[in-house]
Structure 1
Amino acid sequence: MLNVKDVEKVYDSGDRALKGLSMEVSGNEIVSIIGPSGAGKSTLIRCINRLTEPTSGEIWLDDTEMTGLSSKELRKTRRDMGMIHQEFNLVERLTVMENVLSGRLGYMSTWDAFRRNFDSEDIATAREVLRRVGLEGVENNRADELSGGQRQRVGIARAVIQRPKILLVDEPTSALDPETSVEVMDLLTEIAREDDIPVLINIHEVDLATEYADRVVGLSDGELVFEGAADELDERAKDVIYRGGETREERDAAKAAANRSASAGE
């Protein structure tokens, strides 16, 4: 389970990208993070795996607290977090197979990783994962020969071969056409169910977020202002997320005040 507790990110400029954000992701649920540009969606994903260092707060993956790990410990723990990037983050001159196998580098010695000395089991697993994501037969193609949808599938395969405890996905459909976007979301859903791992997705397309997610988290100006089932994301909630309005904390405070008033009147 992923547990984010009161995470803040303040940049050197003084900008607060995240403001005491807390949330959980568990089981094999798919959680979509939505919000306007600059809301802190990508910052949250990057803080979770410490590509960006949070200023304060705690990030737990099962029994491991991420923010206190040394560089060596972090390298080991990142094996449990499969990261799928918006810009694919592939090595263009390498083959599809080589890019996928790079997901196993965290399990190898420094010398074997440097030599890219993958064992036969890893190679067999990579072939099976490529079959799962629909890339069987293109193992030896260079990454720069692929379409955008194919590149994203390579990125997914690279994350899956890590055998992660969670998939962190940053804008997986932003560079794709609508049809390919649906195919990628179908694939992520399939992996979550079959591999029994949760998926946390930062996504701009609200329709895709609600169609595929079990739960939706809405950010606005670095704050969590909505959290609920996909079918609870009504127009009022969208207005709070995208056009400002009452935050979740304000709503909770108002509800508590109303309850106190009701109790006093009894």
Structure 2
Amino acid sequence: MITVRNLTKKSKEGQDILSKISFQAGDGEFIAIVGASGSGKTMLLRCLAKQEKWDQGQYIYNNQDITSLNIFEAYRLKREWGFLNENPDVDPNKDALKNVLDSRYQHMNWFRKLTRTVSQDEHVFAMDYLEKVGLLDKGRDKVAKLSGGEKQRVAIAKALIKGAKVIFADEPMKGLHPDAQARVMEDLRSVSTRDNGTVFCSLSNLDLAERYASRIWGLNGGRIVLDINGRRLTPRERDMVFS
């Protein structure tokens, strides 16, 4: 469970970028964040992922106040969270399997971390996660040769294998073919429905949000002006978000 109270983020000039945002989000939710350009979608994700400092507000994660964290608490939290960018965080010079295994080393003993060797069990484990995102047949392919959608799905597998319980995805569909967009959205939805994780995903494509998300937030002027279960927005609701 995630609880946020009065999240406020200001610009250097003192203007509100995000203003008094409050919500609760539970396990198994796929939350799409929609809004016009400049509405604050990316900043909200970065604040929630603790990649940006807040000017005000309280952050509760699994009954623990994480508003302020020391370096050790931040490292532990990073192991439980995944962040997906428009440009997937993958190594183009390695194959898909080695990319996924790179996220698994943190769970191995010091010798395997140092030597970068993996057991047969870890190898099979990584292949299982590639299969979850539909890339079992691409495990030995260099990432540089994969399509944009396939690279994004490798990034999702990397987040899942490290044990991410919360995934923050910032415009992960940009530049992807419609078929690839659908597959990535299905993979993200599976994180919530199959793995009971929580997904926050900013989207410019409202249709994708309406089709795949279990919950939709409409952001306008740095505020959540709409918070509904996933469905097609009414004309009035669209005006609230995009006017």
| TM-score, normalisation: structure 2 | 0.91
The residue correspondences of 1:167-178 to structure 2 (distance < 5 A) are 167-178=167-178
Q: Which residue does 2:3 correspond to in 1?
A: 3
Q: Flag the structure with more relative contact order, 1 or 2, with Cα contacts below 8 A and sequence separation at least 6.
A: 2
Mapped contact 1:30–1:215 kept (Cα < 8 A): yes
Q: Does 1:94 align with 2:94?
A: yes
Q: Deviations over 1:25-83 (max 9, x none)?
A: 11312111100111111111111121122222122221233331112210111111122
Letter in 2 for 1:125: F
For residues 50 and 169 of structure 2, what CA distance do their matches in structure 1 show? 14
C-alpha displacement at 1:214, in angstroms? 1.5
CA distance in 2 between counterparts of 1:67 and 1:144 reads 38
Query: Which residue of the partner structure matches residue 214 of structure 2?
Result: 214
Q: How far off its partner does 1:153 sit?
A: 0.7
After the TM superposition, which residues 220-235 of structure 1 pair with which residues of structure 2 at under 5 Å, given as runs? Answer: 220-231=220-231, 233-235=233-235
Structure 2 CA distance for partners of 1:239 and 1:142, relative to 1, 3 Å = same
Letter in 2 for 1:173: M
More helix by share: 1
Moved over 3 A (4+): 105-122
Give CA deviations for 1:138-192 in whole Å, capped at 9, x if unaligned. 2232221211011011011011112222222211211211121111112222232
Matched, 1:144 2:144: yes
The structure-2 alpha-carbon separation of the partners of 1:230 and 1:94, relative to structure 1 and needing over 3 Å to count, comes to same
Residue number in structure 1 paired with 2:65: 65
Letter in 2 for 1:236: R
Contact 1:8 1:55 in 2 (8 A): yes
Q: CA deviation at 1:117?
A: 4.3
Q: Which SS does the other structure have where 2:194 is aligned?
A: helix
CA distance in 2, matches of 1:153, 1:231: 25
Alignment of 1:76 with 2:76, yes or no, is yes
Distance 1:30 1:121, change over 3 A: same
The alpha carbon displacement at 1:101 in A equals 2.0
Residue correspondence of structure 1 range 123-142 to structure 2 within 5 A: 123-142=123-142
RMSD across aligned C-alpha pairs, in angstroms?
2.0
- CA distance in 2 between partners of 1:225 and 1:190 (Å): 27
Cα distance in 2 for partners of 1:29, 1:225 equals 19
Q: CA deviation at 1:122?
A: 3.2
Instruction: Provide the residue aligned with 1:257 in structure 2.
Output: none
SS at match of 2:138: coil
In 2 relative to 1, CA 51–113 (structure 1 residues): closer, same or farther, beyond 3 Å?
Answer: farther
Number of the residue aligned with 1:193: 193
Identity %: 28
Aligned pair 1:122/2:114, yes or no? no
Note if contact 1:75-1:106 (Cα within 8 Å) is conserved in structure 2: no
Give 1:91 shift: 2.0
Relative to structure 2, which stretch is displaced further, 204-213 or 106-115? Answer: 106-115
Matched-pair contact (CA < 8 Å) for 1:76–1:106: no
Structure ID, larger Rg: 1
Q: Structure 2: 5+ residue runs without aligned partners?
A: none
Secondary structure of the residue aligned to 1:172 is: coil
Please identify, of 24-33 and 108-117, the stretch whose mean Cα deviation from structure 2 is larger: 108-117
Cα distance, 1:145–1:239 mapped onto 2, change above 3 Å: same
